[in-house]
Amino acid sequence: MGLIILCLAFITLPIGLDCPGLQVVLFIPRQIFQLKNLLKKEFAQRAKAALPSNIDRVNIEIWFQDETRIGQQGSLTRLWTKRGTRPRVVRQQQFMYQYIYGACCPDHHKAAALVLPYANTHAMQEFLKEISRNVDQGKHALVIMDRAPWHTTGKLQIPSNITLLWLPPYAPELNPQESVWRVLKDRYLHNRAFNSMDDITQAACHAWNDFIKTPTLIKSLCSRKWAKL
C-alpha cells in the first residue's frame, strides 16, 4: 500500500502525524502563530479596548470559559494492574452525552459550571447568566473564550457585568480551561460506563464539585502570566 499524504492547509509550520499507510501533515498558518503571540504581548491593550471605559482595572475579574462533552464514549486512561497481565476496560459504543460548561477565575479562586444537553446559543445564554451570578457585587468579568459559533453569535444577550474577549482561531492551548477538562477526565471520568443521561449528569456534577473543593488547584491550573491587566 502506498503512502497517502493529506495536506489540510497551505502554511508554514508543519506538525506531522504518522499512521500505517497514512501521513497527515497539518500546517499552521504563520499568521495564526503570530496572532497567538500577539495576544500574549498585547493582552492588556486588547482587554482595555473591549471593556467599558467606566470600569476601573481593580474591579475586573478575568475568567476563562470553555465546554467539553462527557458521555458513553469516554476517555480511556492508564490503570494499575498486576505485572504481566492485560487489564480489560469497558468501552461503550452508544452515543448518549452531556456537555459541561465551565469557567474559572484563577485570581479569585472561583469557578462556575452547568451540565447541559446541547452546545448551542441557548445553552451558552444560560451559562452566561450563571457566570454573571458568580461575579462579585460591583465587579465586572472579562470572560475569555474560543470562537465557537455559539460564543460569537450576535443572538447572545450579554449580562451587564460581563464582557467577552475571544481567543485567536486554532489556539486551544491559550485557554487554561482545557487543563481543567484534562484533570476531570483523568481523575473522575475515565474508564467509565454510563447507563443513562442521569448517570452522565451525576458523574459530571460530582467531578466538577470535587474539583472546586480545592481553590488552589483552580489557581495553579488556570493562572497565566500574560493574562494580567
pLDDT in tens, the chain (229 residues): 444 444 444 334 444 444 555 555 555 566 666 667 778 889 999 999 999 999 999 999 999 999 999 886 667 677 677 888 887 767 757 678 899 999 999 999 999 999 999 999 999 999 999 999 999 999 999 999 999 999 999 999 999 999 999 998 888 899 999 999 999 998 898 878 788 999 999 999 999 999 999 999 999 999 999 999 8
pLDDT for the residue numbered 20:
53
pLDDT for the residue numbered 96:
83
Instruction: Write down the pTM of the prediction.
Output: 0.80
pLDDT for the residue numbered 225:
93
Sign of CA dihedral 124, 180, 219, 202: positive
The CA distance from 101 to 70, in Å, is: 11
Q: Does domain 42-82+91-222 have CATH number 3.30.420.10?
A: yes
Residues β-bridged to residue 69: 99
Of 48, 221, 53, 226, the closest CA to residue 142 belongs to 48
pLDDT for the residue numbered 62:
97
Q: Which helix (H) or strand (E) holds 178?
A: helix 177-187
Structure-block grid coordinates of residue 8: 489540510
pLDDT for the residue numbered 90:
72
Domain-by-domain residue ranges, the chain? 1-41, 42-82+91-222
